[in-house]
Amino acid sequence: MSFNFKFGPEHLLQVLLVFIPLAFLGHFLKWPAHITFFMSCLSIAPLAGLMGKATEVLADKIGAGAGGLLNATFGNACELLIAFSALRAGLVDVVKASLTGSIIGNVLLVLGMSMLAGGIKHKTQTFNRTAATTSATLLALAAICLIVPAFFHFHGGKLVTVDEEHKLALCIAIVQFVVYCLSLLFSLKTHRNLYVREIDELSTQAIGTQGWGVKTSIAVLAVTTVMVAVLSEILVNQVEATAQGIGWTHMFIGVIVVAIVGNAAEHSTAVLMAMKNKMDLSMGIALGSSTQIALFVAPVMVFASFMLGKPMDLAFSGFEVMAVAVSVIILAFVATDGECNWLEGVQLMAVYLILGATFFFL
């Protein structure tokens, strides 16, 4: 089994592996909650990267169609595990905040960093406008799926019961899941030519999987999934005490901290691809992840909440809805012309920083 650990920009996450035993020590030795929380965050990031690498290798081995489905299903496994742990702990506000944070983080932070990093090396970069516009439209649907239940909740007043909100959430979740499945059919079958990924030695090096076979990838995927599930439990158990200890709200922890942790591996890969002038790949990673969060992870959380006997509604706070809507609006301007530069990256990151500051003081 060869992991080919090299030190370089694309392998910086591997340094964070040292925090895995520290997170467990913090949990069992009862270290201060905020220390254990941050140790867990730092340890989950490299594990998420390994999960992504293993999934990537398996996807390449089993063929384009099944591989694309595998990537689509496990692409956000880390976020799914963290959200499920928070759901089991009854921290529904953290679940919603992490979903919001993952969407705006990928659209604004990941894409912004990619455009900035790529634009510094390449004056103007191009990408498939049709594929980007399709992803932007799917995210607009996601925004609608947040706006409608929010209006239902805030404007229904006393006429709307909690049970009705839960039923509405289930109906919307079913629609989201069906649309997600149809989007897979679109990208993997009927319009597959729009989503062909560039596979060469550079992209192989970027995920650091030279020498990985099917057995190795399955073993890595199994071990890292278990580790992330356990560390997610530790992380979630420290949220309440951490929020009280350092004065952060559940919303800020979910929107900013947890979302960045779950997407750290994708952040680095998207930026690396942009620096290598592979903007199609970078856009695909950022927007594809946002779409999966909005149309796959969100409805799965709703379904899971009903199975656990703790139904979750989709009535996100007004500011969360606004944040997603703003992200979708600015994405529409960026994705329609098929080209980008470093200034557009700065603009996306500026919006993310503004939203992040507001979530901090909210």
For the residues of 117-149, what is the DSSP string, one character each?
Answer: HHHHHSSSEE--HHHHHHHHHHHHHHHHHHHHH
Mean pLDDT, residues 149-156: 84
Q: What is the pLDDT confidence band of residue 64, given thresholds at 50, 70 and 90?
A: low
Average pLDDT over residues 10-20: 77
- Burial of residue 88 (CB within 10 Å: 0-12, 13-18, 19+) is middle
With a pLDDT cut of 70, the percent of the chain lying above it is 87
Position 71 scores a pLDDT of 66
pLDDT mean across residues, the chain: 84
Taking the C-alpha atoms of residue 258 and residue 155, their distance in angstroms, rounded to an integer, is 30
What integer pLDDT is reported at residue 204 of this predicted model?
45
Question: Which pLDDT belongs to residue 205?
Answer: 46
Per-residue pLDDT at 333 exceeds 70: yes
Q: Residue 75 — φ and ψ, nearest 5°?
A: -60, -30
Lowest-pLDDT choice from 26-30, 48-52, 169-173, 345-349: 48-52
Asked if residue 78 is part of any domain, the answer here is yes
> Does residue 4 lie within any of the structural domains?
no
125 backbone dihedrals φ, ψ, rounded to 5°? -115, 145
User: SS3 of 342, please?
Assistant: helix
Question: What pLDDT does 40 receive?
Answer: 92
Nearest CA to 204 out of 10, 15, 7 is that of 10
The values of phi and psi at residue 340, to 5°, are -150, 165
Is 34 exposed, middle or buried, given 0-12, 13-18 or 19+ CB atoms closer than 10 A? middle
Does some domain include residue 99? yes
Whether residue 267 has pLDDT greater than 90: no
- The H-or-E segment that residue 63 falls in is none
Q: For residue 69, what are the CA distances in angstroms to 74, 198, 222?
A: 9, 17, 18
What pLDDT shows up at residue 125? 92
The answer as to whether 117 is a domain residue is: yes
Q: Is residue 17 part of a domain?
A: yes
Q: What is the largest CA-CA distance in the chain?
A: 61
Residue 300 located in a structural domain? yes
Looking at residue 201, what is its pLDDT? 40
Residues 72 and 70: their CA atoms lie apart, in Å, by 5
Domain membership flag for residue 158: yes
Q: Which amino acid is at 249?
A: T
Q: What is the pLDDT of residues 123-151, one digit of tens each?
A: 899 888 888 888 889 899 988 988 899 88
Q: Which pLDDT belongs to residue 227?
A: 92
Q: Which of 9-18, 44-53, 80-89 has the lowest mean pLDDT?
A: 9-18
Q: How many domains does the chain have?
A: 1
Q: Which residues are CB-contacts of 349 (< 8 A; sequence separation ≥ 6)?
A: 108, 109, 112, 113, 116
The pLDDT of residue 191 is 77
pLDDT greater than 80 at residue 198: no
Percentage of the chain lying above the pLDDT 90 cut: 41
Coil/strand/helix, residue 340: strand
pLDDT at 9: 46
Give the chain's length: 362
Residue 347 pLDDT more than 50?
yes
Residue 200 pLDDT > 50, yes or no? Answer: no
Find tokens 């990151």 and name the residue: 349
Which backbone phi and psi does 339 adopt, to 5 degrees?
-150, 160
Comparing 317 with 60, which gets the higher pLDDT?
A: 317
Whose CA is closest to 207, among 60, 109, 18?
60
Q: What is the pLDDT of residues 299-313, one digit of tens each?
A: 999 999 999 988 999
Tokens for 113, please give them.
């960093």
Considering the entire predicted model, what is its pTM? 0.87
Q: Which residue has better confidence, 16 or 201?
A: 16
Tokens at residue 33, please? 């909650």
The domain containing residue 87 runs over which residues? 9-361
Determine whether 41 is exposed, middle or buried from the number of CB atoms within 10 Å of its CB (0-12, 13-18, 19+).
Answer: buried
* Alpha carbon 212 to its chain's center: 25
Chain centroid to CA 347 = 21
Q: What is the pLDDT of residue 185?
A: 87
Is the pLDDT confidence value at 160 over 70? yes
pLDDT value of position 167: 93
87 conformational bin, left if phi > 0, alpha if psi -120 to 50, beta if neither: alpha
Query: What distance in Å separates the CA atoms of residue 295 and residue 271, rounded to the nearest whole number?
Result: 24
